[in-house]
Amino acid sequence: MKPSHSKFAQDPHAPLLSIEGLEVSFRTAEGTVNAVRGISLDLQPGEVLGIVGESGSGKSVTAMATMGLLPRSASVRGSVRFRGEELLHRNERQLMPFRGKAISMIFQDPMTSLNPVYSVGWQIVEAILAHQDLSKEEALKIAIELLRKVGIPNPEDRVGNYPHEFSGGMRQRVVIAIAIANNPEVILADEPTTALDVTVQAQVLEALRAALSSTHAALLLITHDLGVIAGIANRVLVMYAGRPVEIGTVDEIFYDPSMPYTLGLLGSLPRVDTDGTERLRPIPGSPPSMIGEPVGCPFAPRCPLAADICRESEPPLRSVGSVDTGHLAACHFAEDARIRGASLFAATSSDIDATRGAGGVAPPESGLSFGHGPDEARAPGPGNYVIAEGFSPAGPGGYETAPDAQETSGDPVLPPDETEIP
């Protein structure tokens, strides 16, 4: 009889998956990279929790640490529990009953997660036989049904094909079939729609929904695509610089965001409910280096609301709103961010270029005015929005150039990481 995760004592009242204070770091020649800096979350049966954030924010490392797949060079601290059973620091033999049976994973790139020298059918059969006491013939029948379930046409014929004989979207469906082969209770999906066109993305998501419906599994979905999150998730966790910066329901995150970074992510997306003239508002600057411990809020150099307290102390996750609904945000000025909303990231290089073409008059929606001299760029509202190198905050309500920028020309200055468009 194959081993089963049910052999371990489990707490029936515990969440399916509970992560508490997870920290992951890697030693490098340049210094210690703190990839994950204290993430905590609970995943309930049937729940879909979406994790979003820029590349390098620690999303995939969190999933790999949960599965025990990090290299030995990684330093992992904290707790990862499945139904109350601690998984962290178990060895390979101890983790085998859990992997694929209790918790399965859909990896980011199906071409590298599938073995090119074995047929897709055999790879599904192998996953089944690892946890179920069946004959190969019985396992093959299940594999064919799994391929049918995830939308592979003619599964009886395609079960003998190799990964290179499938398109990218179909390979991803095969990976989903492997993930659900043993009816897991938790599925970790790491960027399952990356590098797929919109039509194929929809098909893969439909296959994922079918998989969740048949297994009743909980899903931890990692993605850059906020549209995917809006269409499938119940709750959202936003990560930045290795830690959660906002947690809430889909409605709370999309309609009442309270962390400037979340507002920036939402504002950088094109919208279909406008007349097409509204400009995209990207977040200025770049993500911080993960080497060493940050001083203050890691988002402060890019944040329009940043003040001295942001540069001195990193804000903890705290409840926002008048009612404690579980909506948490890590921001000293979360209430101000909620009020400012989409106007928070009003200035972009496109606004500045448009201003040049209009003879120095900024578009009304940008909230900027340009002159010639020390006060070239001003933006309304509180905070310290650094528009370009050489500008420094003048405190709440205004912005002025730094002393070393006084001799620059009267033309507006593009942010240092932006390329001027002719």
How many Cβ atoms are within 10 Å of 214's Cβ, its own excluded? 13
405 is written with which tokens? 């920028």
pLDDT of residue 122: 96
pLDDT of residue 10: 61
The answer to whether position 304 is within a domain reads yes
User: Using 50, 70 and 90 to split pLDDT, how confident is the model at 110?
Assistant: confident
Last residue of a domain, one of 213, 233, 253: 233
The answer to whether position 411 is within a domain reads no
pLDDT of residue 80: 96
Helices (H) and strands (E) in the chain, counts: 14, 16
Number of domains in the chain: 3
Tell me the residue range of the domain where 390 lies: 349-405
The reply to whether 311 and 393 lie within a common domain is: no
Q: E strand or H helix at 327, and its extent?
A: none
Q: Domain with 213 in it: what CATH number?
A: 3.40.50.300
**242-290 per-position pLDDT tens digit:** 999 999 999 999 999 999 999 999 888 777 777 777 777 788 888 899 9
The reply to whether 182 and 102 lie within a common domain is: yes
The answer to whether position 79 is within a domain reads yes
Interhelix angle 136-149/198-215, nearest 10 degrees: 130
The reply to whether 154 and 125 lie within a common domain is: yes
Calpha distance 318→173 (Å, rounded): 39
Examine the pLDDT at 399 and tell me if it is beyond 70: no
The reply to whether 340 and 353 lie within a common domain is: no
The reply to whether 133 and 253 lie within a common domain is: no
365 is written with which tokens? 């929606």
Of the candidates 245, 226, 266, 222, which has an alpha carbon nearest to the alpha carbon of residue 49? 222
The reply to whether 306 and 320 lie within a common domain is: yes
The reply to whether 256 and 291 lie within a common domain is: yes
How would you classify residue 405: left for phi > 0, otherwise alpha for psi between -120 and 50, otherwise beta?
alpha
pLDDT of residue 258: 93
Please give the DSSP secondary-structure letter assigned to residue 331. Answer: -
Its pTM stands at 0.77
128 is written with which tokens? 């089944």
The reply to whether 227 and 82 lie within a common domain is: yes
The answer to whether position 421 is within a domain reads no
Of the candidates 343, 338, 340, 318, which has an alpha carbon nearest to the alpha carbon of residue 328? 318
How many Cβ atoms are within 10 Å of 22's Cβ, its own excluded? 23
The reply to whether 264 and 331 lie within a common domain is: yes
Between 353 and 62, name the one with better pLDDT: 62
Examine the pLDDT at 13 and tell me if it is beyond 80: no
Count Cα neighbours of 203 within 13 Å in the Cβ-side half-sphere.
18
Examine the pLDDT at 310 and tell me if it is beyond 90: yes
Q: Is the dihedral of CA 262, 263, 264, 265 positive or negative?
A: positive
The answer to whether position 417 is within a domain reads no
Contacts of 165 (CB under 8 A, 6+ apart): none
Contacts of 157 (CB under 8 A, 6+ apart): none
The reply to whether 25 and 99 lie within a common domain is: yes
Q: What is the mean pLDDT of the chain?
A: 80
The reply to whether 188 and 254 lie within a common domain is: no
The reply to whether 131 and 198 lie within a common domain is: yes
Calpha distance 400→417 (Å, rounded): 20
Q: How many residues does the chain have?
A: 422
Chain centroid to Cα 249, Å, comes to: 15
**318-348 per-position pLDDT tens digit:** 999 767 778 999 999 998 888 887 677 765 4
Please state, in angstroms and as integers, the Cα–Cα distance from residue 239 to each residue in 191, 246, 292, 372, following that order.
Answer: 15, 7, 18, 40
Could you tell me which residues are beta bridge partners of residue 286? none
**196-226 per-position pLDDT tens digit:** 788 888 888 888 888 888 888 999 999 988 8
| Average pLDDT of span 149-178 | 93
The answer to whether position 413 is within a domain reads no
The answer to whether position 216 is within a domain reads yes
234 is written with which tokens? 């119940």
Examine the pLDDT at 83 and tell me if it is beyond 70: yes
28 by Cβ neighbours in 10 Å (0-12 / 13-18 / 19+) ranks as exposed
pLDDT of residue 18: 96
The answer to whether position 99 is within a domain reads yes
